[in-house]
Chain A
Amino acid sequence: AQSVTQLDSHVSVSEGTPVLLRCNYSSSYSPSLFWYVQHPNKGLQLLLKYTSAATLVKGINGFEAEFKKSETSFHLTKPSAHMSDAAEYFCVVREGNAGNMLTFGGGTRLMVKP
């Protein structure tokens, strides 16, 4: 069975400082991992995905994530936060033998202070 744990329900940073959103996963098989962003009253948007290629994945808007199998982690980072980054972020795992369905983490709300 697959599962995802987002370690922080809320993260608050100042504009221009680094962002770290933590995610740990559990999977019986080699998983694919994703980060999605959801702005208020907007649909889910894919930020980046890991599908067993390079372990450091670059996404849109300056975000990146590193797949660490030994730590079962897929943390999302950005060097410098922007006000427009304030949103809800979801870490997602997909296991091939689970019908390819996505399992979402509980979400992390990122707040960016001026």
Chain B
Amino acid sequence: EAGVAQSPRYKIIEKRQSVAFWCNPISGHATLYWYQQILGQGPKLLIQFQNNGVVDDSQLPKDRFSAERLKGVDSTLKIQPAKLEDSAVYLCASSLDSHRGPAGFFGPGTRLTVL
């Protein structure tokens, strides 16, 4: 079974630039999550989708972060403009439905460095 795919794996940008990350969940998984993991900390949920609708985006900094899952499959997470404190690994996870949580299906992450 193919896992959660993410790209790019690494990205280096300067502050105030824009960046986008892509996630392809496991086939058939209705629920998709984006997490931010700052170095030395546990992952923090940014946004949760159920199909193409947002379930929870309470911790998403909406002034600069946006995410979409237009067709209920792939998702993109965008930061515009980036700040130094956005340097982190961005993890995508998926699950069959929201009742089970992403118990085991995390992507490899995108490591973002903002200079």
Contacts and interface: CB of A to CB of B under 8 A. Distances in A.
B48 interface: yes
Given A43-B108, A44-B91, A101-B48, A49 B103 contact: yes
A105 B37 CA distance: 11
A82 interface: no
A57 to B, nearest CB: 13
Contact of A99 (B48, B91, B104): B48
Main secondary structure of the interface of B (DSSP, over half): loop
A110 to B, nearest CB: 15
B106 A106 contact: no
A22 to B, nearest CB: 15
A44 B109 CA distance: 9
Helix, strand, loop or mixed for chain A's interface? strand
B45 interface: yes
A101 B42 contact: no
Interface of B: 3-4, 33, 40-45, 48, 55-56, 91, 93, 98-104, 106-109
A29 B31 CA distance: 22
Contacts of B91: 43-44
Nearest to A101: B45
A104 B43 contact: yes
A50 to B, nearest CB: 11
B101 A94 contact: yes
Nearest to B92: A43
Interface string A9-49: 00000000000000000000000101010000011111001
Given A44-B43, A94-B103, 20 more contacts: A4-B42, A32-B101, A32-B103, A43-B3, A43-B108, A46-B103, A46-B104, A94-B101, A99-B48, A99-B55, A99-B56, A101-B33, A101-B48, A101-B56, A102-B102, A104-B43, A104-B44, A106-B41, A107-B41, A107-B42
